[in-house]
Each structure stands twice: as structure tokens, then as C-alpha cells.
Amino acid sequence: MGKKKKNSRREIFIELSERISDGYISPGVKLIEQELSSEFGVSRPVIREILSQLEAQGLVKKVPNKGTVVCKIDPGSLFEIFEIREVIEGLAARKAAQNTTAKDWKDLEKKFGAPGDKIVQNKQFEEYLSLVTEFRKRIVSSAQSKELSALINSIYAKIRIVQRRVIILPGRIEKGIIEHREVLNAIMKGDPDMAESMKRNNLHSALKDLKRYKKWVF
Amino acid sequence: MGKKKKNSRREIFIELSERISDGYISPGVKLIEQELSSEFGVSRPVIREILSQLEAQGLVKKVPNKGTVVCKIDPGSLFEIFEIREVIEGLAARKAAQNTTAKDWKDLEKKFGAPGDKIVQNKQFEEYLSLVTEFRKRIVSSAQSKELSALINSIYAKIRIVQRRVIILPGRIEKGIIEHREVLNAIMKGDPDMAESMKRNNLHSALKDLKRYKKWVF
DNA sequence: ATAATCATTATTGTATACAATAATGTTATT
DNA sequence: AATAACATTATTGTATACAATAATGATTAT
């Protein structure tokens, strides 16, 4: 395998993170240092540093003398992570309600209106995913907490690939859009308690569906 | 500087983590690869892998062509982390209440009784710290969530050194012990909502004192 | 033919060596 | 004497080379 272009360490780290959390590299797949070294045009020690970072991040696992494999997420861990998301993203919603006013959300309110209904009716999963992703990112940035933002992104990277399997569960987007509207209303009203409560309710509801249909998710 | 004994990678990582979060290596101090290499008896590339992991963990920061320095925590980040702890450890308390019964806490209830009063009256900070640490660890293990446990420990490592400066704030342990007893009571009653609420109240109270006396903490 | 043993290959684990950059100290000039 | 230019040193960044281990395949004995 021939060398390709030379990338910076940070870029390689991000590239591999995204490949894993987007599912381009499947859980259980072994990452071979020499191949990565050739592909990215850097030496093996550099690759090993990056793999160490990915391990500390929880995306891969190094087994001694065997190699580095992409973490596969078991149902138990997934449920645990959703519980954590419940309180963490609940906090983000709370802080978003504190730090913003209604006018900051007019654009999203519009998107969640008639266009939202259409997305749900036509089961446009891709559009639904990008809508709720935009909402989630807006909440996180509105929370104005670097630590919280880093934490949410780090946790989300682990389960991003699962998200696609969650939203196609029967009735999920129908419930999801209602729950998201409740969150949005609470934030626009400037009601932190309600915003947190509704965001927690949203993720709790997703977790319940996840448990109910776990045979189809795993 | 001569070589010492040979340690495993994992051991070196833990050793350095503890040195940092215990405050034996102060924030801002530069970690020199050659020195660590000599001290632990491993080569520089191995040290570099470990430093990369510590960076991913958020304990150190690598600045290009300058070196690796221990992260110094600014007031803003500290407040943010305490907000996060509020909801994360609140969740742990909730789950502890769900997973245990009163008899699991008899020993701690006793320690929080008369001996607890004595600790507070005599301002025995070291004993207070070890008591609440034991309580926190018990809550975490009772939550029975590997993901939650890893997350709490990871966050706590960043602010462990500050904890010592928090409990010596005027009136802190007096309030603290009352709040901890409320958490314990809620858990023993098997009331998850109350347990979460009281744990959040406890950390919120600590955060308020932290903000009030921040001149003395930083 | 099948299973066990050995040799070969591939991959990880580690150390050393060299290049590039920044920090430090020294000398020369004004 | 002070400052600027230069040389030296220390430290990081990177690649190569070698050792150890595991996986694979071939060969032999039953």
C-alpha cells in the first residue's frame, strides 16, 4: 500500500473519530497501524499516539499484543449512555433557556412547524435527523459552557451511529417531534425548569423505545 | 538522571494521572519527556503515547513545539464542571436509591451520626474529606453503571485538587454534612426523585459557596 | 485423511537515531 | 553598558530499525 498525502496529527484524529462514529469503520474491526501509517503518510509511532487518544476517548480498545479494535457497544452500555444523555442534555436545555430569548429560536420554530409535520408524515428520516441535529447543536452552543459542550460531543460520538437506527423505530419520529416542540416552547418561554424537564422527557422516551425494540436495534 | 524500574504503560498513566489530580504536579508545570522516560524506564515514544492519553483525558495540554503542560483550571471551567457534577452525581444518587435497600447503608448512616457531628465541630477536614469520599464512591458503585462510573471518575480527576480548598471555606462542612445526610436519608427511603434532588442541592450549594468565596479559592 | 508440530509471515511493542524548533547564552558592535 | 546577531544547548517531532508475540500455512506422523 503506497503512501498518500501527509496530514497533521489533529486532522488524522478527527478523521478516524468520524469514520468510527459515522460507522464507516464497523465495531469489532481491527485497525492495523501499518495501513493507517501508509494511508496518512506518517510513521507508526504517530499513529500509535493517535490510537492512544482514541482509546482514552472510548472509541477503540487496545488489547495487548493483538491490536486495536473499534469498540462495539452492548445494549447495557447504550442504555447507560442514554440515561447520562438525559441529565446532561437536560442541563444544556436548562442553560439554553437561561441564556437566550425567543427571537433566537424563531428560525427553528418555523422549521419545526408545517415543514416538520411534512417530514414526519412522509417519513423523511434523513431530513428529520438533520433537523433534530441542528436543534441539538443550537441548544449546546446556547448553553455557553465549553466543558458541557465537550462532554456532550464526546458522549454523542459513541452513539451517533445508533441514532440512525433509533429514529426509524415505529412511532419514534411522531413522538420525537412533539417532544422536541415541547422543549423548544419551554426554551422560548425562558422557563429553565420546564426546558430541562422536557428535554429529559424526550430522551427518556427515546430510551424506552430503545429498550422496547432492542431486538431490532442490535 | 539515571533509569529506575520498568513500569507498564497502564501503571505509568495512572501514576501521572494521580500526581496531577492530587496536585503533586502543579498546574502550568511542564512535563519533560526525557525526564519521565528516564524515571519510568521506558522510551520516549511510550511516554508520548501516555501524554497523548492524558491530553485526551483533559489533564494536560500539548502546545506544538513547546511541550506538555499540566492544565490549569480557570474559575469559569470550574463552575461549569460543578454544574455538570450536579446533574451527573444527581443521576448516580437516583440510581443508587433504585438499586439498594436501607440495610446497605447502615454503616455509613452510623458514621454520619455522632462521629460526623464530632468531625464538624472539631473541624477535622481530613476526616470529613475521607467520609464524603467514601459516601461518593458508595453512591457511584451502587448506581451500577459502568459508563456513569467512568464519567464521574474522569470529571472528578480534574477537580480533585480543588475539593480540598472547597471544604475549608467558612461554613462549608456545616452545610455539607446536613446536605449529605439528606441524600443518605432519601436513598435509604428508596426515594429516587428525592435522592437526585438532594444530591443536586448539595452540589448546587457547594457551587454557590465556590462562587461567593472564589477570591480565596483561586 | 486428520491432527499435531514446526516454520513462516504479519503485526505489535520498543528503542535508538536523526531532524526541526525553541530556549539559552555569548560575543560583537554601537 | 545595552542591544542585536549569532552560536550553542535543550527539547520536541519524526522516522527507521529491531525484538517479541500472535496468526498463518506447510509438513509430517499416525
pLDDT in tens, A37-52: 999 999 999 999 999 9
Enumerate the residues of chain B whose CB falls inside 8 A of the CB of residue A148. 80, 83-84
Q: Is the pLDDT of residue A6 over 50?
A: yes
- The percent of chain A in helix, strand and coil, each rounded to the nearest 5, is 75, 5, 20
Which residues, other chains included, contact B82 with Cβ-Cβ below 8 Å and sequence gap of 6+?
B159, B203, B206, B207, B210
Dist. CA A52–CA A60, nearest whole Å: 9
Average pLDDT over residues A96-106: 98
Q: Distance from residue B12 (CA) to nucleotide D20 (C1'), in Å?
A: 21
Closest chain B residue to the Cα of A47, Cα to Cα: B49
Q: Distance from residue B65 (CA) to nucleotide C20 (C1'), in Å?
A: 9
* Closest nucleotide to A6 by C1' from CA: D14
Alpha helix segments (H runs only) across chain B: 9-21, 33-40, 44-57, 75-99, 106-111, 114-121, 125-143, 146-167, 172-188, 192-212, 214-217
Which residues, other chains included, contact B113 with Cβ-Cβ below 8 Å and sequence gap of 6+?
none
Q: Within the 156-215 window of chain B, which residues sit less than 8 Å (CB to CB) from chain A? A: none
For chain B, give the percent of residues with pLDDT over 90. 94
Dist. CA A83–CA B146, nearest whole Å: 12
* Closest nucleotide to A63 by C1' from CA: C12
Dist. CA A152–CA B149, nearest whole Å: 16
pLDDT in tens, B159-192: 999 999 999 999 999 999 999 999 999 999 999 9
pLDDT at B6: 61
> CB distance B88–A86 less than 8 Å?
no
Per-residue pLDDT of chain B (218 residues; tens, 9 = 90+): 444 556 789 999 999 999 999 999 999 999 999 999 999 999 999 999 999 999 999 999 999 989 999 999 999 999 999 999 999 999 999 999 999 999 999 999 999 999 999 999 999 999 999 999 999 999 999 999 999 999 999 999 999 999 999 999 999 999 999 999 999 999 999 999 999 999 999 999 999 999 999 998 88
pLDDT in tens, A66-85: 999 999 999 999 999 999 99
C-alpha cell at B51: 501524554
* Closest nucleotide to A64 by C1' from CA: C12
For chain A, give the percent of residues with pLDDT over 90. 94
Name the residue with the least CA to C1' distance from nucleotide C23: B66
**Strand C: positions under 7 A of a protein C-beta atom:** 11-17, 21-23
Q: Distance from residue A38 (CA) to nucleotide D29 (C1'), in Å?
A: 44
C-alpha cell at B59: 489533564
Question: What's this model's pTM, rounded to 2 decimal places?
Answer: 0.94
Q: Mean pLDDT across chain A, nearest whole number?
A: 95
Enumerate the residues of chain A whose CB falls inside 8 A of the CB of residue B156. none
